[in-house]
Copies of this chain bind each other. A is one copy, B any other.
Amino acid sequence: MEEKNMAEVLEKAEVLIEALPYIQRFNRKIIVVKYGGSAMIDEELKKHVIQDVTLLKLVGFKPIIVHGGGKEISKWVEKSGMEPVFINGLRKTDEATMEIAEMVLNRVGKSLVTLVEELGVKAISISGKDGGLLKVQKKYSQGKDIGYVGEITEVDPKILYDLLEKDFLPIVCPIGLDEQFDTYNINADDAACAIAKAVQAEKLAFLTDIEGVYKDPQDKNSLISELTVNEAKELLASGNIGGGMLPKLNSCIDAIMNGVSRVHILDGRIAHCLLLEIFTNKGIGTAILGEKETKFYHE
């Protein structure tokens, strides 16, 4: 082998060896990945996310994907001659819209199954109806009835444990049943968070369309790599956090307070952001961690 070639090849080995402590650390731990945003639309990014999650599975982690339906739902609502309506950022979900949402979300799940199985790993897509996974109640938006939008009241993780035990990669779409067994749509971030808490996940990773959390949203140089749950609370109290980040940061804090060790807000627009976050010492995005966790990424 030529010398140049050899050097290049050696570098590869070192990347693999660099991953060793992370593989060892997270072996057989559950990682819930909220999959959405650009990473779900761009075909190339999509492929990368699936490769990342499949690799995690193969090296001994136990990933669970929770996905939304992205722009597909609106597309089909329109195709059916209706018009999407949003109230305070939440989709008004009448019966016809719910029907479409359920069809679209389940099909998205199956398309992810296809991609995983192309890589030789067994997957299964379910909704929160299967095995009674997600129980919900109607969610009101500032007092207004916005239809079949649910908030989770109970998670029964048995089906997830069963599927993980049988070595499947579970892919979950955020639909649940209420006590009358009516079908409800659920915010995918909320579903990912509730599931991560129910299975006491080691990690919860949100694939988003932002770079991470900024100390000062005006200053692009103020991206925070790591912050403890207490620092996150202070940040919230500072009033500097706004827009879509506010509920997300609240979710992160909620997850940490309820047994999840580490939550990651990743920039899903970066290829292999998930892998890089977990396997290298260059963090991508922002990590929120429990008080007892030690900062060890991103130095």
CB-CB under 8 A from A126, the residues of chain B are 124-126
Which of B55, B60, B168 meets A17, CB within 8 Å?
B55
Q: Is B58 a contact of A119 with CB atoms below 8 Å?
A: no
**Taking the nearest CB of chain B, how far is it from the CB of A281, in angstroms?**
10
Alpha-carbon gap, A104 to B76, bound state (A): 12
A185 interface hit (Cβ, 8 Å): no
A102 interface hit (Cβ, 8 Å): yes
Q: Is A114 a contact of B131 with CB atoms below 8 Å?
A: no
Interface hits, A226-275 → B, CB 8 Å: 270-272, 275
Q: Is A20 a contact of B58 with CB atoms below 8 Å?
A: yes
CB-CB under 8 A from A9, the residues of chain B are 276, 280, 282
> Size class of A's contact patch?
35 or more
A106 interface hit (Cβ, 8 Å): yes
Which residue of chain B has its CB nearest to the CB of A175? B110
A177 interface hit (Cβ, 8 Å): yes
Q: Taking A20-B58, A79-B81, A276-B9 as contacts, is the C-beta distance between A129 and B117 under 8 angstroms?
A: yes
A291 interface hit (Cβ, 8 Å): no
Which residue of chain B has its CB nearest to the CB of A283? B1
Which of A1, A99, A130, A284 has the largest count of B CB atoms less than 10 A from its CB?
A: A130
A218 interface hit (Cβ, 8 Å): no
Interface hits, A110-132 → B, CB 8 Å: 110, 113-114, 117-127, 129-132
Q: Taking A60-B60, A110-B127, A129-B110 as contacts, is the C-beta distance between A119 and B6 under 8 angstroms?
A: no
Which of B23, B107, B123, B125 meets A58, CB within 8 Å?
B23
A5 interface hit (Cβ, 8 Å): yes
Interface hits, A1-58 → B, CB 8 Å: 1, 5-6, 9-21, 23-25, 27, 48, 51-52, 54-55, 58
Q: Which residues of A contact B (CB under 8 A)?
A: 1, 5-6, 9-21, 23-25, 27, 48, 51-52, 54-55, 58-60, 76, 79-81, 99, 102-104, 106-107, 109-110, 113-114, 117-127, 129-132, 158-159, 162, 166, 168, 175, 177, 181, 183, 270-272, 275-276, 279-280, 282, 284
